[in-house]
Amino acid sequence: GAVVSQHPSWVICKSGTSVKIECRSLDFQATTMFWYRQFPKQSLMLMATSNEGSKATYEQGVEKDKFLINHASLTLSTLTVTSAHPEDSSFYICSPDRGMNTEAFFGQGTRLTVV
């Protein structure tokens, strides 16, 4: 399967600060990256879709100014949670798009805790 590296695996930050999460696809070029959020005992929720060299597409209810996505190269996409609040505490997972009829592969996930 695809090799996807996501960092950090966990982070604790103070309320009001910003946190950057990196996702690298190590063995193929990812034109599109999906960013998910998962709250405890809930399903994966798609937050946004990033496309290399263009603006990300955000799902309804997701604030684009709060969750900044950058997809500057075919191997790296970043998600920055700005002015984090405790309600942003969640598990964030990236998944590069490998085509319509293929299974999804994921980064290791980032457990964000905002105190």
- The residues in 12-51 that bind other proteins, with binding defined as CB under 8 A, are 34, 41-46
Strand 57-58 relative to strand 4-7: parallel, antiparallel, unpaired?
unpaired
Told to check if 103 binds other proteins by CB under 8 A, we report: yes
Q: Kindly tell me which of 29 and 102 has the beta carbon lying closer to other proteins.
A: 102
| Window 48 to 77, contacts with other proteins (CB under 8 A) | none
Give CB contacts under 8 A, 24+ apart, made by 25-29. 25/74, 25/75, 25/96, 26/75, 27/2, 27/3, 28/2, 28/96, 28/98, 29/74, 29/75
Nearer Cβ to other proteins (61/65): 61
- Residue ranges binding other proteins (CB under 8 A): 1, 6, 34, 41-46, 91, 93, 100-101, 103-109, 111
